[in-house]
Amino acid sequence: MASVHVGHGAGGKLIDRQHVESLVAPLRECDDVERVIVATADGIAYVDDATLVDRERGAASVASLMGVVELTARSLGVADLQGAVIHGREHEIISRTVAEAFLIVVVARRGDGRDSVYRELRRAAAAMENLVSERAAH
């Protein structure tokens, strides 16, 4: 998949994979980051370094997780959910929803570099949000 549609029907606009790759490239350069995934909100891997089998499983499972997280947040009165973090003993999985169209997922070792990971994730999500908005407007 070299590009993905944003929007509905024939009026949907394409977002180029290389453009998305460039937006998340700084995330990959952060210390402790082992994997960066960009997936469509319905769980289709769009950008991922893993093998094909791992890509599909990772993207689909995170999309399912985010559906449950959003339901939980709403039921607990948390509005405007932006993402979720799963803490493991040695790793974290950090997911962020972008414009209700994409998910950015970072798998990182727990360490001192987390501030830079969170900062770069916010930057990448904002850049993708702008890209999706621009494509949807044209």
Domain ranges of the chain: 3-137
pLDDT score of 13: 52
pLDDT per residue rounded down to tens, the chain (138 residues): 454 544 433 334 567 888 899 999 999 999 899 999 998 888 888 888 887 777 778 888 888 988 899 999 999 999 888 889 999 999 999 999 998 888 999 999 987 767 789 899 999 999 999 988 887 776
Q: Does residue 45 contact residue 37 with C-beta atoms inside 8 Å?
A: yes
Q: Which CATH superfamily is domain 3-137 in?
A: Dynein light chain 2a, cytoplasmic (3.30.450.30)
Classify each residue of 40-71 as buried b or exposed e, where b means 16 or more C-beta atoms within 10 Å of its C-beta: beebebbbbebeeeebbebbeebbebbeebee
Q: Which helix (H) or strand (E) holds 8?
A: none
pTM over 0.85: no
Q: Does residue 63 contact residue 50 with C-beta atoms inside 8 Å?
A: no
